[in-house]
Amino acid sequence: DVMFLTGTDEHGQKIEEKARAAGQTPQEFVDQIVAGIQSLWKLMNISNDRFIRTTDPYHVQSIQKIFRQLYEKGDIYKSTYKGKYCTPCESFWTETQLVDGKCPDCGREVIDAEEEAYFFRLSSYADRIMKLFQEQPDFLEPASRMNEMINNFLKPGLQDLAVSRTSFTWGIPVDFDPGHVVYVWVDALSNYITALGYGNDTYHDFDRYWPADVHFVGKEITRFHSIIWPALLMALDLPVPKKVFGHGWLLLEGGKMSKSKGNVVDPVVLSKRYGVDALRYFLLREFPFGSDGVFSNELLISRINSDLANDLGNLVSRTTAMVLKYFDGKLPAEQRREDADGELISMASGLRDAFEAQMEKFAFQNALMEIFRVISRANKYIDETAPWTLAKREEDRPRLARVLYNLLETIRICSCLLTPFIPETSEKIRQQIGAGEKETSWAAAGAFGVLPAAASVQKGEALFPRIDMKQELMELEANGMTTVSDKTAPEKAEEKPEEKAKAAEAGTESPEGVALVGIEDFAKISFKVAKILSCEPVKKAKKLYKLMVDAGEAEPRQIVSGIAPWYQPEELTGRQIVLVSNLKPATLCGVASQGMLLAASNGENDVRVLFVDGDVAPGSRVR
């Protein structure tokens, strides 16, 4: 029983100003934006149950009731605000909270603001919020977000919060003081309960669905959802949500996407070119959900080719083709099982539980890795059992039938669990292998042997045709659709002998023939202690490992290192290394790397990682 709610925050000074610049009313301006969002959600097969707009009449009615309730209780009072304000972020800041005089969240310029406002007594709830964090350590995830809230906001002390504005009019009026409009904190945050019927008669789901199991929010607004929102709920004598999860940002190698930089990636264009399922899969597989992720066309194409075309696509096409070729699309009842089947059956039978454990932690990347571990084993099983050889001998046909049945069952289980990620493809797979509704339920995904032996297999088109990387990148560049990593950097011209001699004579080159650097340049390099959280091989790259490391930052970062010949993953996980943390992001064999670890080499065949011994906190500077 799930209620998936999403929606749009449509009030505020920023909207009012942009509508004016566009020659529209604020309502006209937001109407066209919302239409685009809802169209995109439909295109991407996002199946939300309810879509709330903060301009919806029932929400307006509820907010006015909530505001009055807080005022009458004494949790809201009138005063004057004076300080700094960031219009794009709709955030107030004190002078000390600014970074280089700019908004600490977005880095834009702030303006001086002074106006009459109603304030919420946020400071009165500081102790209760701290207690919430201490008693429910998994209330805010990833854990790094909670540490950030405690150290940056709770420990320095919470300030009372302006919850009304008088400098603009596009907002919900405070019904007992018409010069004021309700500000975003009470207006937008309260959507989670107004959309369930709190304070209105439009819906009647509040008792059924509140408190929410989880709020998924962008990491830049975790402060609002983990501190301000719980405090408002406490003031209303309502339970807080069970969990807030702050996801990361999608970045390009040059940093955040920005319309002003002209580097925004259009999901509509990508979906039409590569398919909705391919894009959904990439976004949930390429990087941990709680971390930032780097996007490039090269990474997307590489993931489509390696996982969806090579692994999943080949498994389905090879299996269905052999069932059609050797048994006319229907397997016989007589089948012979052998010991060689045990490992695949065991992995497929236990897949649902392993998958569920990762999904419960919102570790979507790991959940997909569990599925594709089984898919890889199934492809290997084909090579081990060699069905084409079994097909040559009549006495081996029962064995051939069992091999193909094991493959069909493995595909069925994987397709069930892939449904949340690639729903259209999962349905195509089920049709190809002849699985009905009964065989594709959650219960059926936890059992091996559910598919009827006589299920009718059908020929289907290739699920994900392989893409020619070189040709595709050329076409994208011709159409102006390149991302930073797709562009080949010009090779550095070789230094002429006379130039090297001049450098040595001038004292700008060391005795080893390496250019000398000044202390100013060396100081630009940031070395940090980092802890290796996980390590896995990079596909089709014998020397590369992909590592997730904790560098004491808001979220783990991903790096790639060519140390696979000298270390096993289990030798590295949990160890502390020295990380070059401000290295420009790069892409190695289609995998994004956001840093470099330090290692020493004693010739080409002996490489040693520089580990840090002792109890040193991740993020500590190396000097």
Whether the per-residue pLDDT at 525 is higher than 90: the answer is no
Count CB atoms within 10 A of the CB of residue 293: 21
The residues with which 608 forms a beta bridge, in sequence order, are 600
Could you give the CA distance from residue 456 to residue 329 in angstroms, rounded to a whole number?
6
pLDDT at 82 > cutoff 80: yes
Q: Give per-residue pLDDT as tens, 123-142.
A: 999 999 999 999 999 999 99
Which of 21-30, 219-228, 593-602 bottoms out in mean pLDDT, i.e. has the lowest?
Answer: 593-602
Residue 270: which H helix or E strand, with range? helix 267-274
The pLDDT value recorded for residue 158 is 94
SS3 for 456-472 is CCCCCCCCCCCCCHHHH
CA distance linking residue 561 with residue 376, whole number of Å: 23
Residues 308-319: pLDDT tens digits? Answer: 999 999 999 999
Q: What residue type is assigned to position 462 of the chain?
A: A
Cis amide bond preceding 211, omega within 30: yes
DSSP 347: H
For 542-583, how does the pLDDT look when each residue is reduced to its tens digit (9 = 90+)? 889 999 988 877 678 899 998 888 888 878 888 899 999 888
d(CA 323, CA 405): 9
* pLDDT tens digit sequence for 21-43: 999 999 999 999 999 999 999 99
Band (pLDDT 50/70/90 cuts) for residue 101 is confident
CA atoms within 13 A on the CB side of 191: 23
pLDDT at 90: 75
Please measure the distance between the N-terminal and C-terminal CA atoms of the chain and give it in whole angstroms. 54
Count of Cβ atoms closer than 10 Å to residue 74 Cβ: 10
Cβ contacts of 518 within 8 Å, gap of 6 or more:
none
For residue 592, give Cα distances in angstroms to 207, 222, 548.
Answer: 45, 26, 11
Give me the pLDDT at residue 195, please.
98
3-state secondary structure of 181: strand
Judged by DSSP in three states, 595 sits in coil
Give start and end residues of each alpha helix (H) in 152-263. 184-187, 191-194, 206-209, 222-223, 229-235
Strands lying side by side in the sheet with 250-252: 255-256, 250-252, 293-294
> 531, 556, 554, 535: which is closest to 544 by C-alpha?
535
Instruction: Name the phi and psi angles at 397, rounded to 5.
Output: -65, -35
CA distance 32 to 249: 25
Check residue 120 and give its pLDDT.
98
Whole-number Å distance between alpha carbons of 562 and 605: 12
Say if pTM beats, i.e. exceeds, 0.85: no
Give residue-wise pLDDT tens across range 574-583: 889 999 988 8
Residue 211: per-residue pLDDT: 98
Kindly tell me if the per-residue pLDDT of 365 is higher than 90. Answer: yes
The pLDDT value given to residue 68: 98
Per-residue DSSP letter, 509: B
Give rounded-to-5 percent helix, strand, coil for the chain: 45, 15, 40
Question: Is the pLDDT score of 503 beyond 50?
Answer: no
Res 493 pLDDT > 50: no
**pLDDT confidence of residue 484:** 53
What pLDDT is recorded for position 496? 47
Give the tokens for residue 167: 């400098």
Q: What is the percentage of the chain residues whose pLDDT exceeds 70?
A: 91
| Per-chain mean pLDDT for the chain | 89
Q: Which domains does the chain have, with CATH numbers?
A: 5-247 (3.40.50.620), 278-446 (1.10.730.10), 519-609 (2.40.50.140)
- Radius of gyration in angstroms for the set of CA atoms belonging to the chain, rounded to a whole number: 29
Least Cα distance to 562 among 534, 597, 527 occurs for 597
Alpha-carbon 11 to chain mean position: 27
d(CA 376, CA 384): 12
Binned at pLDDT 50, 70 and 90, residue 7 comes out as: very high
pLDDT in tens, 431-480: 999 999 999 999 999 999 999 988 899 999 999 999 999 999 888 888 77
In this model, does residue 541 exceed pLDDT 90? no
By residue count, the chain amounts to 623
Rounded (10°) CA dihedral 427, 433, 434, 440: -50
107-128 burial string, b = 16+ CB within 10 Å, else e?
Answer: eeebeebeebbbbbbbeebbee
- 246-260: average pLDDT: 74
Residue 423: asked if its preceding bond is cis (omega within 30°), the reply is no
Does residue 236 carry a pLDDT above 90? yes
pLDDT at position 508 is: 46
Res 489: pLDDT: 36
Q: CA–CA separation, 26 vs 115, rounded Å? A: 22
Q: Classify burial at 156, counting beta carbons within 10 Å of its beta carbon; exposed 0-12, middle 13-18, buried 19 or more.
A: exposed
Q: What is the pLDDT of residues 264-290, one digit of tens each?
A: 788 999 999 999 999 999 999 998 898
